[in-house]
Amino acid sequence: MAIERLSIDKFILLIDQHPLFDVRSPGEYNHAHIPGANNLPLFSDEERKIVGTAYKQKSREEAIKIGLDYFGPRMRTMVEEAEKKGSKQVLVYCWRGGMRSAGVAWLLDLYGFKVYTLSGGYKSFRNHVLTSFTINYRLNILGGFTGSGKTELLRSLEKQAEPVIDLEALAIHKGSAFGSIGLPPQPSQEMFENLLSMELTKIAASPKPIWLEDESQRIGLVNIPNALWKNMRNSPVFFLDIPFEERLKHITEEYGKLDKEKLKEAIVRIKERLGGLNAKNAIALLDEGNTLESFRILLNYYDKFYHKSLYNRENINSLLENVSCESVSPENANLVIHASRSKAAKV
């Protein structure tokens, strides 16, 4: 079978159809990779460094010879790893689409796989990622004070065939000082961008606007790319207007189960903005087991913080659509869909 070299646009179309192998070193892969890729490293991190040094200081030929010393003994293992995926068609890429992907592609092709390689390698994928954020997408922003159940509502919208991107799920962070408690480590900035770009690519062709939660540009340790952030800030905002006590009840149920010491550490982190007395009282109430009243203090703080962010938009009066809701409920999805369609009809 002939090895086929594909452009990034054609390569991406096949990612969900065939196993995808990143043949870069584990360190490169762990930092960031094409979402869905399996690491099938041609070299370890140390071996890659040795080969690269030989290439720069000696010659291309010398680097290849050293690389073959490493490659030869692991050929069988690499074939067997590829076989485990159960498909005779595979996708392979390295950093620039050069020797590493060519070597692994040759081996797998020799064994009987149909192999597709990525022209320009991971570098071309990154160019695609960065370009994808500059597109002017049609967006609907789901707004609302803390405790409005926005994340749950995104899932309800998705069930009703609305295009949705859950930024907090991609960032592995809930977007506040408490947002990392109980969650795994966040991805690198580069990996977050890769995940986000692939989500955008999958649903960009939808005739409907894409729903995103109203976020700060920074979600924990990662940032929403500037171009997309500006797009979000100039898109319609559907604000879930839910009574304070309903939101307080919801947020207490959600966050009240978390580790008390971690909650207290988070309160200390926002002590200056929250105010010393408020922070002290919120921690004391947690120690007393009065989570509801502790969260009442915190919710008042986050309401003021979000209100400022919401109205710090140009043309906010034309962008903002208030959606009155009696409580936090998945059924609120019907209300925001109706509001979205009504707003679109007026334009």
Please identify, among 130, 149, 184, the residue that sits at the C-terminal boundary of a domain: 130
- For 227-276, the pLDDT digits (tens) are 999 999 999 999 999 999 999 999 999 888 889 999 999 999 999 989 99
Please identify, among 107, 130, 153, the residue that sits at the C-terminal boundary of a domain: 130
Per-residue pLDDT, averaged over 198-220, amounts to 94
Per-residue pLDDT, averaged over 292-318, amounts to 94
Q: Identify whether residues 232 and 266 lie together within a single domain.
A: yes
* Percent over 90 (pLDDT), the chain: 87
Q: Identify whether residues 255 and 124 lie together within a single domain.
A: no
Please identify, among 113, 130, 147, the residue that sits at the C-terminal boundary of a domain: 130
Identify the active-site residue in 34, 51, 94, 242.
94
Per-residue confidence (pLDDT) for residue 35, from 0 to 100: 98
Per-residue pLDDT, averaged over 282-311, amounts to 94
Per-residue confidence (pLDDT) for residue 204, from 0 to 100: 85
Q: Identify whether residues 319 and 173 lie together within a single domain.
A: yes
Tell me, yes or no, if 325 is annotated catalytic. Answer: no
Q: Identify whether residues 187 and 298 lie together within a single domain.
A: yes
DSSP 207-234: SSPEEEE---SEETTEE--HHHHHHHHT
Query: Could you tell me the residue range of the domain that residue 280 belongs to?
Result: 136-346
Give yes or no for a contact between 211 and 140, defined as CB atoms under 8 angstroms apart. Answer: yes
Q: Identify whether residues 275 and 154 lie together within a single domain.
A: yes
- For 44-61, the pLDDT digits (tens) are 999 999 998 998 899 989
What is the model's pTM?
Answer: 0.94
Instruction: Give yes or no for residue 1 having a pLDDT over 80.
Output: no
Per-residue pLDDT, averaged over 118-140, amounts to 97
189-203 vs 121-132: helix crossing angle, rounded to 10: 70
Question: Is residue 21 within a helix (H) or strand (E), and if so which, with residue range?
Answer: strand 20-22
Q: Identify whether residues 162 and 20 lie together within a single domain.
A: no
Mark out the alpha helices in 208-315 (DSSP H runs). 226-233, 244-255, 260-269, 271-274, 276-287, 291-311
Q: What is the dihedral of CA 78, 79, 82, 85, to 10 degrees?
A: -130
Per-residue confidence (pLDDT) for residue 214, from 0 to 100: 97
Segments of 78-196 assigned E as strands: 89-93, 114-118, 139-144, 164-165
Q: Identify whether residues 316 and 180 lie together within a single domain.
A: yes
Per-residue pLDDT, averaged over 295-316, amounts to 93
Place of tokens 């080969």: 51
Instruction: Give yes or no for residue 347 having a pLDDT over 80.
Output: no
Q: Identify whether residues 123 and 154 lie together within a single domain.
A: no
Select from 191, 181, 251, 186 the least CA-distant residue to 220. 186
Q: Identify whether residues 170 and 113 lie together within a single domain.
A: no
Per-residue pLDDT, averaged over 300-306, amounts to 94
Report residue 97 CA to chain centroid gap.
Answer: 25
- What is the length of the chain? 347
Q: Identify whether residues 194 and 310 lie together within a single domain.
A: yes
Measure the CA angle with vertex 229, ends 202 and 217; round to 5°. Answer: 115
Place of tokens 């890659």: 48
Per-residue confidence (pLDDT) for residue 101, from 0 to 100: 95
Per-residue confidence (pLDDT) for residue 208, from 0 to 100: 94
Report residue 17 CA to chain centroid gap.
Answer: 21
Q: Is residue 25 classed as helix, strand or coil in its secondary structure?
A: coil
Report the number of distinct structural domains present in the chain.
Answer: 2
Amino acid sitting at position 284: A
Per-residue confidence (pLDDT) for residue 344, from 0 to 100: 86
Give the CATH number for residue 203.
Answer: 3.40.50.300
Select from 132, 341, 162, 99 the least CA-distant residue to 225. 132
The rounded distance, in Å, linking the Cα atoms of 236 and 96 is: 40
Give yes or no for a contact between 141 and 212, defined as CB atoms under 8 angstroms apart. Answer: yes
Q: Identify whether residues 159 and 301 lie together within a single domain.
A: yes
Give the CATH number for residue 108.
Answer: 3.40.250.10
Q: Identify whether residues 301 and 206 lie together within a single domain.
A: yes
Work out the end-to-end distance of the chain between its first and last CA atoms, rounded to an integer number of angstroms: 54
The rounded distance, in Å, linking the Cα atoms of 137 and 196 is: 13
Per-residue confidence (pLDDT) for residue 97, from 0 to 100: 87
- For 152-194, the pLDDT digits (tens) are 999 999 999 999 999 999 999 998 888 899 999 999 999 999 9
